[in-house]
A and B are shown apart, each in its own frame.
Chain A
Amino acid sequence: MSERTGLEGHYPSGKVGLRRYLSARMLPLILLLLVLVSVSAPLAYAALAARGLRAQARATAVQAADAVAREVQERPVLWRYDAGKLLAHLRAYVDNHGVARIEVADRSGVRIPLDTEAIASPAAAAGPLAWEAAPIVLNDEVVGHAWAAVSLAEARNAALLLLAPFGLLGVGLAGLLYFLPLGAIARAERRIEQSQVALARFNQTLEQQVAERSSQLGAAYEQLRQKEGRLRELSTRALLLQEAERRVIARELHDSAGQALTAIRINLQLMAQLAAVEPDSKVAKMAAKTLTIADATLEEIRRAVSMLGPAILDDVGLLAAVERLCDDFEREDLEIARELEVPEGGLSAALESVCYRVTQEALTNAARHAAASELRVVLRVEPARIVLEVHDNGRGFVPGERGEGRGGRGLVGMRERVELLGGSLRIDTAPGAGTAVRVELPRRALSDDGDDSAVVVA
């Protein structure tokens, strides 16, 4: 029951209403049919019968008028007194032709007294009479009229009797024509209603299924998101580990090989000063050459250390490191503006590392490919995120066109690093319009425990 109510609520039209519609339109037509079938035949019969009877009366009147006319011819004055007897002759017509009465009127319209009992047939007693007249003519002069009457009672009664069977026929036909299509429509209506109910039920089931599928998909999506999160966390950890490893290698290079080479260089310098007495001696030459090699190697080590791990971050912090980086790239024809805001305690090692490297990569690209005259570096730490922007006014490029040629590898690396920390990197550029690199990083890039610093420090 509650389901039915629910379905009806779902389909406010409820009943299809075909039967009511058809019934309302068929009722007047059925009524017309009933009237036509019931009345037409009795009316036609009554009209034909009455016409026949009247024709019969007219014929009798003509015969009576002829008979009287002969009498008038013989006795122009006294005919009217013998007409009754003459007309008794016409009794034959009265009886044979169903004529109810015969009357004779003179030219003034006065009835000539006849023995009406003798001339009237028993039919005269029944109902109204239809009167028909024929003139009585003597020498082209109308001297009177013979009137014959027929009883219409029979025709009327027969028509009324016909009314009953034809009325029944009309009722039967009307009933058939009304109830047959209505029955069929009612059956069709029931089927449509059943289909509607089934459809509503199916719809409801479908909605339930959709809801279930949506819920399953949501769960799967949530699972996937969690997995993705964990994967990102693992990647970040891997990145941090890699970063830490690189810093360790860099420190080792800087602290051991660098120091050793510095000592070697000092010794070589001493050797060169000692050999300066004899500048063209082989030793002096060798010392100078070796000193050159040592300088080159030291430079290589310094560069490698710089590439492997920005140890400078550990030494001076992100702000000073970026300042120094800018100083390094600044030339006479390249001015670098800076807007750098970093909180007092700095950022986590991973964030600082990524910020530093992205700045480094962006500056490198700008210096190498952009032919820019102005550069602007913005580092802004907001409560929830870190924004890093590097703008240049160089020649720009068509994004994706020559990515490989123009530090493409570096850009990809930048993007990977940023995304590993849950951030985003956007490059806005067009030929001749300069290049803007914008990085946004969430401040809590890692899990809340913040143990990345330990990893980095290690």
Chain B
Amino acid sequence: MAETADDPRASASLAALWAAVLLGVAGVAVLAAVFVAPLLAGAREPPFLAGQVPKNSLLFQRSTPRPHGVLHLAGSGTNIPLTRALADAFVARYPDVHIVVFESIGSSGGVMAVYDDVVDLGLISRPLDERETAHGVDAIPYARVPVVVAVNLSVPDVAITTAELADIFAGRKTRWADGAPIVVLQRERGDSGHLAVAAALPDFAAADEGAYRERRWRVILHDRAMQEALAITPGAVGLLDVGAISLQRLPLRALELDGYAPSEASVQSRRYPFAKDLSFAALEAPTGLAAEFIRFAHSEEGRALMVAHGYIPLPEVQ
């Protein structure tokens, strides 16, 4: 009855049992490998062509051929009103020339468009970062514009302190002088206006970052949308450059900050602390029409236009 070591039939049946069990375990392993492992397989990088593609690669032939006598500009929404005004003046002087200023694609988009040779000049409202400089992109500053705290016309307040500004963005000050609620409109992270204010006012930087993190305020992605939202939202407050209000005659009010209006004098004396520089971005030393346009921006006529709309002209850097 009992199995003995030298019972061949019992040994064979035991071996068959072990084989079946090992087969079962192997089956589970195969199931796991075939059905579960592919679902759990992942990678840090997406599985499409990754990494840097050489500039001369066919893949980079995405610049559209541009006809002679046409200048294409694109970039930060902050630059667009002034640049369009400059373009209009330039075209008035040289009627054969056509200048296309595209809708905002942001400073970063402007730099990349120049890098990819999609536009002749990029428009940036913030300093170039190291990566962009490393790509060989140069910034050619042409104007400085104060960043203002713009409010909807329903707001009775005409002045504000830097501390109050930080309190508003931190959510600590929620009412205007007449008791109406403050509606804060925030630009996306990395917006040049916010960067300029944050650089000058650390309290604001902290409040702004906290607001992003907690999604405290509505975030608006483009200058145009920001202008419209501020204009139609009662009690709205947001950061905007003064030139946009002036050039586009927007129904908005720029508040005095710590008693100073955003004038050229107060900005130059640093009493009004918030300002940003507007620059052209070019891959190489611009030539032809682009160089002409840059020269025009730095010309007397161009500088007069800037001053007329609250911009501070910057000298041409050689």
Query: Taking beta carbons and an 8 Å cutoff, which residues of A are in contact with B?
Result: 13, 15-18, 20-21, 24-25, 28-29, 31-32, 35-36, 39-40, 43, 46-47, 50-51, 54, 75, 77-78, 80-82, 84-86, 88-89, 101, 103, 105-106, 108-111, 113, 115, 118, 127-131, 133, 145, 147, 149, 151-152, 155-156
Beyond A25-B14, A50-B40, A78-B113, is A36–B47 a contact (Cβ under 8 Å)?
no
* A408 to B14 Cα, complex, angstroms: 81
The answer to whether B36 touches A43, judged by C-beta atoms less than 8 angstroms apart, is yes
Contact of B91 with A by CB under 8 A: no
A131 contacts which of B14, B20, B39, B42 (Cβ < 8 Å)? B42
Task: Give bound CA distance, A103 to B43, whole Å.
Answer: 14
B14, B22, B41, B106: the one within 8 Å of A82 (CB): B106
Assuming A32-B24, A78-B74, is B40 touching A118 (CB within 8 A)? no
**What's the nearest-Cβ distance from chain B to residue A162, in Å?**
13
The reply to whether A110 and B21 form a contact with Cβ atoms under 8 Å apart is no
B40 touching A46, Cβ below 8 Å: yes
> Which 10 A/B pairs are nearest by Cβ-Cβ distance?
A17-B2, A81-B109, A128-B42, A50-B39, A28-B21, A109-B49, A82-B105, A81-B105, A108-B59, A109-B48
Per the CB 8 Å criterion, the residue count for chain B at the interface is 52
Q: Please, which residues of chain A bring their CB within 8 A of the CB of B39?
A: 46-47, 50-51, 54, 130
| Complex alpha-carbon distance, A131 and B105, angstroms | 27
Distance from A403 Cβ to chain B, minimum over Cβ atoms (Å): 64
By a CB distance below 8 angstroms, the chain A residues around B10 are: 21
Q: Is the CB of A128 within 8 A of B105?
A: no
Other than the known A35-B24, A84-B106, what 7 A-B pairs have Cβ atoms closer than 8 Å? Answer: A17-B1, A17-B2, A35-B25, A85-B221, A111-B50, A130-B41, A156-B40
A-B contact pairs, 12 of them (CB 8 A): A28-B21, A78-B105, A78-B109, A78-B119, A81-B118, A85-B109, A85-B221, A86-B221, A115-B108, A128-B42, A130-B39, A133-B48
Cβ–Cβ contact A32 & B221, under 8 A: no
A152–B42 CA distance with the chains assembled, in angstroms: 7
Contact B49 A108 (CB under 8 A): yes
The interface residues of chain A lying within 8 Å CB-to-CB of B43 are 128-129, 131
* Selected contact of A147 from candidates B46, B108, B113, B221, CB within 8 Å: B46
Contact A24 B14 (CB under 8 A): yes
Residue B176 CB within 8 A of the other chain = no
**CB within 8 Å of A: which of B48-78?**
48-50, 53, 59, 62, 64, 74
Contact among A15, A28, A130, A147 with B42 in the assembled complex (CB-CB below 8 Å): A130
A28, B17: Cβ atoms under 8 Å?
yes
Per-residue interface assignment for chain B, residues 80 to 124, with 1 indicating a CB less than 8 Å from any chain A CB and 0 otherwise: 000000000000000000000011111011101100001100000
